[in-house]
Amino acid sequence: MVYSMRTAIYPGSFDPITNGHLDVLHRATKLFDRVIVAVAKNESKHPLFTIEERVQMVGHAVRHLPSVEADSFDGLLVAYVERRSAQAVVRGLRAVSDFEFEFQMALMNRKLNERIETIFMMPKDTYTFLSSRIVKEMAQLGGDVSSFVPAHVRTALAAKFSPNPA
Ligand code: PNS
């Protein structure tokens, strides 16, 4: 029997990566031989962090996970999945409110490429309310985000919102 390596792409804006993303990622590593966290350029979303900063923060957060890689992509997700010879896309599903957009995206991606499956994973219930948007808002208003993001992300957020940037 020939064993082929199973690869999943975990795409997102990751602006910035949160503990909720990392929870989903850990779950995905149990199902796949290799997981590539693919940071979308998504300039139209006007991200707080540059693509380089976001990939660097993901890379640092996953450095202890040997089957995980951090990368970036631009353009269609399905084209990137093909380029990386992956079989599946992993997305986190927190609440019903996520469902409509995720359902639409999964079906559109299937229309574009029948071969690629989308797999939804639920993060731990304590992360149900967590999002990059809320983390950014909290950090900007001086709230404590230490239980929601890794330490290096907290430092990066503090630097972005510092009144005296270096
Ligand atoms: O973290 P996000 O912002 O919810 O991630 C959304 C993302 C990046 C996965 C999505 O916007 C995407 O796949 N963008 C790439 C362009 C693309 O393929 N669009 C068609 C999907 S229907």
What are the φ and ψ backbone dihedral angles of 17, each rounded to 5 degrees? -65, 140
Query: In total, how many domains does the chain have?
Result: 1
Q: Clarify whether 84 is annotated catalytic.
A: no
Share of the chain above pLDDT 70, in %: 98
Q: Clarify whether 94 is annotated catalytic.
A: yes
Q: Which two tokens stand for residue 43?
A: 């300039």
Domain contains 48: yes
User: Which of 45, 63, 83, 124 is an active site residue?
Assistant: 45
What are the φ and ψ backbone dihedral angles of 44, each rounded to 5 degrees? -65, -20
Could you tell me if the CB of 13 is within 6 A of ligand 1? yes
Range of the domain at 116: 7-131
User: Which of 13, 54, 91, 94 is an active site residue?
Assistant: 94
Q: Clarify whether 67 is annotated catalytic.
A: no
Domain contains 145: no
Domain contains 70: yes
Domain contains 83: yes
Whole-prediction pTM: 0.96
Of residues 143, 78, 145, the one with CA closest to residue 114: 78
Q: Clarify whether 72 is annotated catalytic.
A: no
Q: What is the pLDDT of residues 17-54, one digit of tens each?
A: 999 999 999 999 999 999 999 999 988 889 999 999 99
Q: What is the mean pLDDT of the chain?
A: 95
**Residue position matching structure tokens 């995905």:** 28
State the closest ligand 1 atom to the C-alpha of 13, by its place in the atom list counted from 1.
1
Distance 36 CA to ligand 1 centre (A): 15
Contact 153, 122 (CB under 8 A): no
Domain contains 165: no
pLDDT at 110: 98
Domain contains 38: yes
Provide the 3-class DSSP secondary structure of residue 26.
helix
Rounded distance between C-alpha atoms, residue 33 and residue 55, angstroms: 21
Domain contains 50: yes
Domain contains 122: yes
Across the chain, how many H-helices and E-strands are there? 6, 5
- Where residue 26 sits, what CATH number does that domain have? 3.40.50.620
Distance 1 CA to ligand 1 centre (A): 36
**For residue 34, which amino acid is it?**
R
Q: What is the pLDDT of residues 109-129, one digit of tens each?
A: 999 999 999 999 999 999 999
Chain center to CA of 100: 18
pLDDT at 166: 58
